[in-house]
């Protein structure tokens, strides 16, 4: 599932290609592409100009020159692609948009093989769409309060991995970057958050910022064609993963084999020597 670095990579690509363009047409091509809570159909954006492409956590939205915004969540396999003549049309296209800026034209496709992604037309409140208002700020937001987030984590009795995955405490971190952040901070995923020191939790938050920033620089993590950027290209952070998906491989820090354990309906990967549960 795309996490913050992958969504940020898509956001940057969309901003590069589409800011200043106007929607000339908008068509939903699958019955589930439009979120049921959408205020209006996709055609409501026709004629609107794109002012900016914004993100909170894993939510994206096109800020328009009107009160409504086009909001997107990529789900497990959602992809925005700017159409190119030298690239075959993707499969599983769920929505199609035509845009123009003067004599320039662009086609934007929303492809989603597993159909868990969605689009919606929403109003903004204080610049945030309704769908994302319950989501906490992510570590790259200007107003992110590191100390307050650490205090909220420290107050939780749940396993620290569950806490760092909680999008209402700090958004953007999913399973991949949770495992990588815990490995960097040398924290076992099952330790209750309340048993960790403020300093240790701070090191985890800092590790999450660092690992996600590094992932953004190389376009995110691509294990298969489920995640690509708006040019149809894969991200390369997979080659830098120390823990996630590395079961049986030597820990890059100590050489002990990385272990995988069940964690809720997910898996957790960690080093049994570096990340001791005490």
Binding site for DNA: what residues are annotated?
92, 114, 156
Alpha helices per DSSP H over the chain: 4-18, 146-154, 160-165, 175-185, 198-217
The answer to whether the CB of 116 falls within 8 A of the CB of 75 is yes
Note if 2 is an active site residue: yes
- Write the CA distances from 136 to 35, 106, 150, integer angstroms: 21, 33, 13
Which is catalytic among the residues 56, 58, 152, 184?
58
CA dihedral for 36, 37, 38, 40, sign (positive or negative)? positive
> Which of the residues 2, 5, 129, 189 is marked catalytic?
2
Catalytic-role residue among 3, 6, 63, 180 = 3
Is residue 122 part of the annotated active site? The answer reads no
Residue with tokens 């929403």: 122
What is the bridge-based pairing of β-strands 59-64 and 50-56? antiparallel
Q: Is 154 a catalytic residue?
A: no
152 is catalytic: no
Backbone phi, then psi, for 229, in 5-degree steps? -85, -175
Extract the annotated binding site. 92, 114, 156
Tokens 């492409």 sit on residue: 53
Catalytic-role residue among 259, 260, 266, 273: 266
What is the residue-wise DSSP string for 12-30? HHHHHHHTT-EEEEEEE-S
Rg (C-alpha) for the chain, rounded Å, is 20
Catalytic residues: 2-3, 58, 266
């Amino acid at each position: 599932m795309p996490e913050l670095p992958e969504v940020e990579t898509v956001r940057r690509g969309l901003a590069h290609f589409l800011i200043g363009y106007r929607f000339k047409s908008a068509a939903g091509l699958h019955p589930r592409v439009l979120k049921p809570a959408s205020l209006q159909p996709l055609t409501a954006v026709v004629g609107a100009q794109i002012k900016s492409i914004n993100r909170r956590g894993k939510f994206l939205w096109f800020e328009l020159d009107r009160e409504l915004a086009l909001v997107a969540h990529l789900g497990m396999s959602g992809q925005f692609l700017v159409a190119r003549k030298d690239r075959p049309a993707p499969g599983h296209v769920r929505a199609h948009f035509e845009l123009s800026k003067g004599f320039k034209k662009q086609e934007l496709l929303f492809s989603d093989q597993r159909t868990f992604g969605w689009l919606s037309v929403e109003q903004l409140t204080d610049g945030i769409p309704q769908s994302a208002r319950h989501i906490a700020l992510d570590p790259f937001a200007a107003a992110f309060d590191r100390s307050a987030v650490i205090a909220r984590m420290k107050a939780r009795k749940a396993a620290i991995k569950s806490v760092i995955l909680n999008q209402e405490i700090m958004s953007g971190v999913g399973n991949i970057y949770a495992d990588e952040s815990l490995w960097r901070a040398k924290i076992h995923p099952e330790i209750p958050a309340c048993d960790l020191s403020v300093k240790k939790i701070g090191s985890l938050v800092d590790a999450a910022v660092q690992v996600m920033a590094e992932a953004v620089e190389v376009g995110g993590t691509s294990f298969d064609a489920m995640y690509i950027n708006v040019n149809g290209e894969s991200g390369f952070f997979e080659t830098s993963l120390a823990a996630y998906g590395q079961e049986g491989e030597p820990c890059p820090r100590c050489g002990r084999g990385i272990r995988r354990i069940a964690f809720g309906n997910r898996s957790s990967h960690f080093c049994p020597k570096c990340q001791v549960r005490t």
